[in-house]
Amino acid sequence: MTAEEIYRHGLERIPAGTLGELAAEAVQPWVTVTPASLLDVLTVFRDDPALAFECLDCLTVTDIMDEGQMEVVYHLYSYKHQHLFVVKSRTGRDEPQVPSVTGLWPAADWYEREQYDMFGVRFTGHPNLTRLFLPDEWVGHPMRLDWKEGETALGIPTSRPDPLVKKDAEAGGGADA
Amino acid sequence: MGYTPLNLPSNVITTRVDAVLNWGRANSIWYMLFGLACCGIELMQTGGPRADLDRFGSVFRSTPRQSDLMIVAGTVTYKMAERVRRLYEQMAEPRYVIAMGSCANCGGWLQKSYAVVKGVDLIVPVDLYLPGCPPRPESLTEGILELQKKIRRENFITK
Amino acid sequence: MPEELTINGPDNMLLNMGPQHPSTHGVIRFVLETDGEVVAKATPVVGYLHRGVEKIATELTYSQFMPISDRLDYVASMCGNLAWCEAVERMAGIEVPRRAQFLRVIAAELNRISSHLVAVGSFCNDVGGVTPLVVALREREAINDILELLSGARLTYNYMRLGGVSRDMSDKCRQDTAAFLDHFPPALDEFNRLITYNKIFIKRLADIAVVTQEEAKAYGLNGPNLRGSGIRFDLRRNDPYSVYPELDFEIPVGEGFAGQVGDCYDRYMVRINEMYESVKIVRQCLEMMPDGELTSKVARVLKIKAGERYTRTESARGEMGIYIVSKGDKTPYRVRVRTSSYSALSIFEKLSPGLMIADLVAVIGSFDIVAPEIDR
């Protein structure tokens, strides 16, 4: 099915008003859903035999700092019908929260942990929402656009003296270190 | 080493203890199998049939306690840094470290990354830096030969 | 055994495997809870090679990211190159000359063979046979030589460019490739005689860690791991890109060669059979490749109009999906790389209860996990 067909099929099965407009002009059209109705919508997408999205292909969070929002993007794929569909959900940037979809697709377990690690988005209902990649002692969420790197990380300096700069300073009498 | 000027049987040679020790150590550098990233594959290939590091008496060991040389082959992240240091401390002295590849030397193409240690010499002392991304097996072989030279120059008994 | 298995039992032992462990294929750590020799639970701990590629990508232009796409999966760099090229070119609407397309496919498929050689070789090494690894590395060196003639590098090729490839195939390279194609299938037969049909090897792998079709889909397994469970799905065929639609090749799937469908042996056999198919593909490409341009005209600093696209290609380990969000600048706004080893490792916690510790090593090998593909 094409994205329009999937959208129209979804509209018939999902209570009116929950499914946003389809961004049809995009190459891969997407539909925006509020976090509150996300689980219901995705459950329909997974279980409806004509849609049958049995695979969560990718879960991405994008930091949209200009608008103060975090965008969670779900790429769904159906092996049965071989079609792809994109669902997006937006949440506030200060305390981002969306429901976890681990109950629908177990693949979401690691995706959500990773995105929590990188962006600090809380996936409510996740069984074990801990950092996936970075060490537990890490402070902050580095993929957020306003994240700043410190002088040291876990006791190790984050930069390295530039050998060329040092030589110049010595040649010039080491004016200021 | 040389033949003795004294009147001894002809199968006796005299030498310095250091020379014998170094001769033995330089020709049996056992390295720890420690492939971290891309360079690990080249490390594997260096031990493989073509480059054949065994020729120089270097064989890989899987545990730090049996190895003399740690080849840090690849990117060291902050999460891994503590483990690298611990593995280094588990090795018996005398021990050597080769920083293999740009990432281990200085961070390389990951200079701007938030998760990568900018050079393994910030964590453990390094004896030899191998440039390249990744260095070729020939380069690693030459590195081992250079390390052998360094070992031969060392003194343990006669300080 | 699994019936009596207790999780969190008072007599269970916690065992740490990795991150420096020869059979974890890079720096991955497993926290094992074992009940005697039986694993009650294995929890993978990843991130020891997390390099923040996705963040770096947003600071580089589209063409500057090309050498980094090599290092996303260093065992199959060409496939990473191809994934990035496809993602950007489809988004920007760049046409690629036909000769370049064939060169890309040749490079990617040769790299697929060399990647699978590492996979099966180190797999055999993990379960106790050292000789197959050396045999596999010997064949891999031949491919490395060809790719070195083609691109100038042994491991991280940086061969492709947006809109084409960086250099042409020399006559010597062409002859070497043709000679390799004649040499390789018999060499692979020899490899099969050496280890694949070995009774001990089969006993060691058959019926271990069976992944059903439903599990495979739900956990998002891809590529050979998915096909090992008997699902005939390959992006080269099902969502074709480049010149793959014109080529004739089979998609091997797990058929329960020695036990149930979806066990370790099936995943292993899928890789062996895929190598034969890749040889077929390269052979066709060499015949069909026309003369012509190597690159089309692409702006040095490419700007892509605002939009987003999720492009999937079949890397050696399975799907490599690249999601690019552009705001019209010369650098992408957000890049997300979805890789196959990541999903393969996430199924581990589910699969592990009831395995022996020695089997665990075999299972890691059968999934062909490469650390930077997980951590990026």
CA C113 to chain centre: 10
Chain-wide mean pLDDT for chain B?
Answer: 84
Residue A174 has pLDDT above 50, yes or no: no
Residues in CB range of B110: below 8 A, 6 or more apart: B75, B103, B116, C51, C52, C56
Residue C206 main-chain phi, psi, to 5 deg: -65, 140
pLDDT in the model for residue A173: 45
- pLDDT 10s digits, C232-272: 888 888 888 888 888 888 888 888 888 888 888 888 899 99
Nearest to C121 by CA among C281, C324, C337, C271: C271
Whether the ipTM is more than 0.85: the answer is no
SS3 C371: helix
Closest residue to C51, CB basis, from B49, B87, B116: B116
Per the document, the length of chain C is 376
Q: How many angstroms separate the CA of residue A26 from the nearest CA in chain C?
A: 7
- pLDDT 10s digits, C132-166: 888 888 888 889 889 888 888 888 888 888 888 88
Q: How many angstroms separate the CA of residue C147 from the nearest CA in chain B?
A: 14
pLDDT in the model for residue A168: 55
Closest residue to A82, CB basis, from C91, C238, C334: C238
Contacts B106 to A, Cβ<8 Å = 160
Provide the pLDDT confidence category of residue A162 given band limits of 50, 70 and 90: confident
Residue A170 has pLDDT above 60, yes or no: no
Per-10-residue mean pLDDT of chain B, 159 residues long, equals 60 82 87 81 80 84 86 87 87 88 85 85 89 87 90 81
pLDDT in the model for residue C122: 85
Q: How many angstroms separate the CA of residue A92 from the nearest CA in chain C?
A: 18
- CA distances from residue B14 to A97, A125, B26, B27 in whole angstroms, order as listed: 77, 76, 19, 20
pLDDT in the model for residue C113: 92
B31-32 and B69-73: which strand pairing? parallel
pLDDT in the model for residue B8: 66
Q: DSSP letter at A110?
A: H
In angstroms, the CA C183 to CA C47 distance is 40
Q: Return the number of CB contacts < 8 Å for A and B.
A: 31
Q: Does A133 touch chain B (CB under 8 A)?
A: yes
Closest residue to A160, CB basis, from B79, B107, B115: B107
pLDDT in the model for residue C22: 67
Chain-wide mean pLDDT for chain C?
Answer: 85
Closest residue to C137, CB basis, from B48, B133, B136: B48
Assess contact for C102 and C285: CB atoms under 8 A: yes
Provide the pLDDT confidence category of residue A169 given band limits of 50, 70 and 90: low
**pTM, full prediction:** 0.86
pLDDT in the model for residue C1: 42
Residue C127 has pLDDT above 70, yes or no: yes
Q: Does C364 touch chain A (CB under 8 A)?
A: no
Residue A27 main-chain phi, psi, to 5 deg: -65, -45
Nearest to A158 by CA among B124, B106, B72, C48: B106
For the record, the structure tokens of C25 come out as: 């294929």
Residues C261, C374, C61, B106: what is their CA dihedral angle, to the nearest 10 degrees? -140
Assess contact for A134 and A117: CB atoms under 8 A: yes
- pLDDT 10s digits, C327-370: 888 889 989 988 888 888 888 888 888 888 888 888 888 888 88
- Kindly identify which residue of chain B lies nearest to residue A140, measuring between CA atoms: B114
**What is the number of alpha carbons within 13 Å of residue C211 lying toward its C-beta?**
35
Helix, strand, coil share of chain C (percent; to 5): 50, 15, 35
Q: Does C132 touch chain B (CB under 8 A)?
A: no
Which helix (DSSP H) or strand (DSSP E) does residue C160 occupy?
A: strand C160-161
pLDDT in the model for residue C29: 85
Q: Does C46 touch chain A (CB under 8 A)?
A: yes
- pLDDT 10s digits, C6-23: 666 677 788 888 777 766
Q: Does B38 touch chain C (CB under 8 A)?
A: yes
pLDDT in the model for residue B55: 86
pLDDT in the model for residue A48: 83
